[in-house]
């Protein structure tokens, strides 16, 4: 079953993540369907790119996050399918697999640039268009041979690459320019505090042991990321030079998320 691996890894009596309902039918061909990107601060910070297909969210973990620069190829590790309901999830996973903070960093629709998505996935070359709040235009996911020691097999290693178009940019770092949630407008520290306000009073998570030590690191990193963002706001969000792309122009015209 499509979500067996997803459910096997999680204890839903502890995790607030959705278990997933019956799969809904996904449009075929070049019809737009849902996508999201979740910023996940766990043992390591990474971004999860999720594309709706065949009633689930195909998922890739991108350690360095998406880049708008066509010259930059981002490693994207193919992970287990997630339920479509996961596309609304933002919050704290308190224990177990993926323990940490999840932010809904971007969402919108994606449209295949191929007629047969399954054939493209089998080939390892999926071209598509994104229409999100932050990510737009043409992209490709390309499977690589991967390293022989890569966990789970070489077929898990892909590259996420932005195609050159009006939405591409070699200057704008979209991760720094638009770091906040598209739904709550919170940063990771804010999402954590909203989930458990007491964490800011005690300075420690409520749990002990390995999870407690993990959350100590996560809290420190989330707070440092906020400090870096607010401390560098004047420079990191200064308008780009005259050659900036339409991404920068359109993003600057909206309320910064």
Percent of the chain past pLDDT 90, that is, above it, reads 52
What mean pLDDT, rounded, does the chain reach? 82
Q: What's the N-to-C CA distance of the chain in angstroms?
A: 37
Q: Which pLDDT value is given to residue 176?
A: 95
For 12-73, give the DSSP string: TTT--S----SPPPPPPTT--EEEEEEEEESSSEEEEEEEEETTEEEEEEETT---S-TT--
pLDDT band at 41 (very low <50, low <70, confident <90, very high): very high
Average pLDDT over residues 49-74: 96
Say whether pLDDT at 255 is over 50: no
More confident residue, 232 or 67: 67
Evaluate whether 96 touches 114 at the Cβ level (below 8 Å).
no
Within 10 A of 51 (CB to CB), how many other CB atoms are there? Answer: 22
Query: Where do we find the tokens 């870096």?
Result: 228
Q: Which pLDDT value is given to residue 13?
A: 74
Q: Which pLDDT value is given to residue 157?
A: 92
CB within 8 Å of 187: residues ≥ 6 apart:
103, 179, 180, 181, 222, 225, 226, 229
Strand 100-112 relative to strand 125-132, pairing: antiparallel
């Amino acid at each position: 079953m499509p979500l067996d691996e997803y459910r096997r890894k999680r204890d839903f009596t502890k995790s607030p993540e959705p278990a997933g309902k019956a799969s809904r039918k996904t449009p075929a061909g070049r019809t737009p369907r849902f996508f999201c990107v979740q910023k996940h601060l766990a043992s390591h910070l990474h971004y999860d790119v999720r594309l709706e297909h065949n009633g689930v969210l195909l998922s890739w973990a991108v350690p360095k996050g998406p880049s708008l620069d066509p010259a930059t190829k981002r490693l994207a590790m193919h992970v287990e399918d997630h339920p479509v309901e996961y596309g609304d999830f933002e919050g704290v996973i308190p224990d177990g697999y993926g323990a940490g903070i999840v932010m809904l960093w971007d969402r919108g629709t994606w449209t295949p640039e191929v007629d047969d998505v399954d054939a493209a996935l089998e080939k390892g070359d999926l071209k598509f268009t994104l229409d999100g709040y932050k990510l737009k235009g043409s992209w490709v996911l390309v499977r690589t041979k991967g390293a022989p020691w890569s966990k789970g097999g070489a077929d898990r290693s892909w590259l996420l690459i932005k195609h050159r178009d009006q939405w591409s940019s070699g200057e704008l770092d979209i991760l720094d320019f638009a770091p906040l949630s598209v739904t709550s407008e919170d940063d990771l520290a804010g999402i954590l505090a909203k989930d458990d306000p007491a964490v800011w009073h005690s300075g420690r998570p409520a749990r002990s042991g390995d999870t407690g030590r993990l959350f100590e690191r996560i809290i420190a990193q989330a707070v440092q990321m906020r400090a870096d963002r607010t401390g560098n706001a004047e420079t990191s969000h200064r308008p780009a030079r005259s050659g900036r792309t339409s991404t920068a122009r359109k993003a600057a015209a909206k309320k910064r998320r």
